[in-house]
A and B are shown apart, each in its own frame.
Chain A
Amino acid sequence: MKYNYKVPCCKDQLQSVRDFVRTTLGNYTISDVEMHQLVLAVDEVCSNLMIHSHQCNPKHSLELRIEIDDNKGITFEIYDFGKGFNFKKYEEPCIKQIIKDRRKGGVGLLLVRRIMDQIDYDFHKKSQRNIYRLHKKLAIQPAIRS
């Protein structure tokens, strides 16, 4: 199954992104812990793009696609226009150094890497869009509702 969602680049829209992911994954058998982590991975990539690539410009938007395959697992794809960021090549920060520097940020993509099994960045020439792809191998079944 595939699910799509388009969201303006405003930080206060992150709640709606999380709600969309929760509602979508809520149709499947998934634990609270796994749900929180997958919602977090999507939230981190979206917030990074909204803040750093789009400077929170509400005229810009991100498109989120969720693909769920019973055998392969869950794939999130986030599309945007503009300057891309190859998050696959990003260097992992040192947690102890961040604490020493009293920095409040810098661990979002580290979380994404540790949560997901695979991350990829692509630039689609024809549509001029960046694609940020996150994949998690997970045995997932539609939830049976009584």
Chain B
Amino acid sequence: MVDVRTDFEGDSCLITINGEVDASSSIYLDEALEKAVNADVTKILVDCQNLNYISSAGLGVFMSYIQELEAKNKKMVLYHMSAKVYKVFEILGLHQLLTIVETEEQAKTGADEI
């Protein structure tokens, strides 16, 4: 089960993920990211503090927006990720293709570097 919240503030979109993203729930993450990518914002901040589990379906959602974000000149930053979830991104080398930082502050600073 997962709960994905989307909040818009100025030129940013904050996505908060609570729970587990798997093959049955990744659709909710996909809907939130689609909304953010198509909105009039330049920064997408993804709070992963309560993301307790992610499978390939969730990774696939993040991967599928990389090109579109670049094309639209938008920056996505993931932050507050636990070590166990970070490790899964690392196994596929996605930690080098996505911007993942530790704190919300770093995420906001990172998102400014477009």
Contacts and interface: CB of A to CB of B under 8 A. Distances in A.
Interface of A: 11-12, 14-15, 18, 32-33, 35-37, 39-40, 43-44, 47, 50-51, 95, 98-100, 102-108, 110-111, 114-115
Interface string B11-36: 00000000010111010001000000
28 contacts: A11-B22, A14-B22, A15-B24, A18-B53, A32-B82, A32-B83, A33-B83, A36-B85, A37-B88, A40-B55, A43-B22, A50-B23, A95-B92, A102-B64, A102-B68, A103-B63, A103-B64, A104-B64, A105-B60, A107-B63, A107-B92, A108-B55, A108-B56, A110-B56, A110-B92, A111-B88, A111-B91, A114-B92
B60 A47 contact: no
B59 interface: yes
A47 B23 contact: yes
Given A95-B92, A107-B60, A108-B56, 4 more contacts: A14-B22, A32-B82, A33-B83, A103-B64
B5 interface: no
Report whether over half of chain B's contact residues are helix, strand or loop; otherwise say mixed: helix
Contact of A107 (B23, B59, B67): B59
B67 A40 contact: no
Q: A interface, by DSSP: helix, strand, loop or mixed?
A: helix
A15 B22 contact: yes
B10 interface: no
A103 B20 contact: no
Contacts of B94: 95
A103 B83 CA distance: 26
Contacts of A47: 22-23, 55, 57
A111 B67 CA distance: 22
